[in-house]
């Protein structure tokens, strides 16, 4: 197995503002193995996209990485110069963003964009790059790639555009792909096709994928492991079937219960009172304590660290043997 493709250790990201320093990411650690899909899930403001941006060195001032390490196949990439990180980006780490229309240049054909990226990162000739571009378009499932390669982005539909973006991310055969909400802008029938494509690519090429999304359904379909983020921290991380079916953290439990499903016609959805705190007003102790139905005194003062004693790490005092035992209901 060897070293994980991506290893994030105690990452901290801060934004310096006039009103003080906001901690967007506070002590986050995770690994992604070769061929593995790690789903990062959370609601808006949880810090999932910032985590993705930090990995590829796209945190711009006033944001800054304030601590921790990011290792790509054992090599530190968080302290590289902008020049060095540019070589990593695109070549060793591919990126897929939410909106395919804004990640493609409308003035160039998709072929020109693919060829440019291929020639930047490999030493193929123009003809070789064009051939590789056609192959990539075929691989992501674009029909008649040898003709479509000379089309402009606006001539593609939303789903096809996202396939082009995936092809762009694959240009240099990266070790890791960061997909930030890759299906959010797409309709369900197209979303299913893009999910199937991502899964197949991860499996066939052995690419590690960090899949950032707010959609638990997409995670359940695609990911091998899932990290649930809340207010800049990982609340729970573990195998997808465990976290989705028997979540441990009260936030993860609430999140799963809040999602309407196609199956049952339950009268009420579980609702978590309140909403995610602002970064400027993160409560002391466990950041979830004001919304947590099981919160007790310790939660208000003492910040929980991930407890690995259970089947998978969970950051919650309920599972700490030394604190008062509370029975947690799990109905999923």
Q: Shortest gap between Cβ of 157 and other proteins (angstroms)?
A: 5
Beta bridge partners of 209: 37, 177
Residue 102, Cβ density class (10 Å: 0-12 exposed, 13-18 middle, ≥19 buried): exposed
Asked if 137 contacts 148 with a C-beta cutoff of 8 angstroms, the reply is: yes
Choose between 46 and 56: whose C-beta lies nearer to other proteins.
46
Q: Shortest gap between Cβ of 210 and other proteins (angstroms)?
A: 18
Report which of 207, 210, 202, 209 is spatially closest to residue 229, judged by C-alpha positions: 210
Choose between 241 and 297: whose C-beta lies nearer to other proteins.
241
Choose between 29 and 184: whose C-beta lies nearer to other proteins.
184
Choose between 105 and 261: whose C-beta lies nearer to other proteins.
261
Q: Shortest gap between Cβ of 90 and other proteins (angstroms)?
A: 28
Q: Shortest gap between Cβ of 220 and other proteins (angstroms)?
A: 5
Q: Give the C-alpha distances (Å, rounded to integers) separating 70 from 3, 32, 65, 309, 318.
A: 13, 12, 10, 25, 30
Choose between 18 and 263: whose C-beta lies nearer to other proteins.
263
Choose between 125 and 261: whose C-beta lies nearer to other proteins.
261
Write out the residues near other proteins by the rule CB under 8 A.
Answer: 43-44, 157-160, 187-193, 195, 214-218, 220-221, 240-241, 244-245, 254-263, 265-273, 275-276
Q: Shortest gap between Cβ of 134 and other proteins (angstroms)?
A: 22
């Amino acid at each position: 197995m060897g070293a994980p493709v991506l290893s994030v250790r105690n990452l901290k990201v801060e934004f310096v503002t006039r009103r003080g320093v906001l901690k967007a990411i506070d002590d986050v650690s995770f690994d992604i193995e070769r061929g593995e899909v790690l789903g990062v899930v959370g609601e808006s403001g949880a810090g999932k996209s910032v985590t993705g941006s930090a990995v590829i060195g796209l945190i711009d001032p006033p944001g800054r990485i304030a601590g921790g390490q990011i290792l790509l196949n054992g090599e530190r990439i968080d302290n590289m110069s902008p020049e060095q990180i540019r070589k990593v980006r695109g070549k060793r780490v591919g990126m897929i963003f939410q909106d395919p229309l804004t990640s493609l240049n409308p003035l160039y054909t998709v072929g020109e964009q693919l060829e440019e990226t291929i020639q930047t990162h490999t030493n193929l000739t123009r003809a070789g790059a064009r051939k590789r571009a056609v192959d990539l378009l075929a691989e992501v499932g674009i029909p008649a790639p040898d003709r479509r390669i000379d089309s402009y982005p606006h001539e593609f539909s939303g789903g096809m555009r996202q396939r082009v973006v995936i092809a762009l991310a694959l240009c240099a055969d990266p070790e890791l792909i960061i997909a930030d909400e890759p299906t959010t802008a797409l309709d369900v029938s197209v979303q299913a096709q893009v999910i199937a494509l991502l899964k197949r690519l991860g499996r066939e090429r052995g690419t590690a994928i960090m899949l950032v999304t707010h959609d638990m359904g997409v995670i359940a379909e695609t990911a091998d492991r899932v990290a649930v983020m809340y207010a800049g921290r990982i609340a729970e991380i573990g195998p997808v079937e465990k976290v989705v079916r028997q979540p441990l953290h009260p936030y993860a439990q609430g999140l799963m219960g809040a999602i309407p499903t196609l199956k049952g016609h339950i009268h009420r959805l579980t609702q978590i009172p309140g909403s995610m705190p602002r970064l400027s007003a993160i409560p002391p102790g466990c950041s979830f304590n004001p919304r947590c139905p099981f919160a007790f005194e310790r939660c208000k003062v003492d910040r929980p660290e991930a407890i690995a004693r259970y089947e998978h790490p969970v950051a919650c005092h309920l599972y700490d043997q030394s604190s008062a035992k509370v029975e947690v209901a799990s109905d999923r």
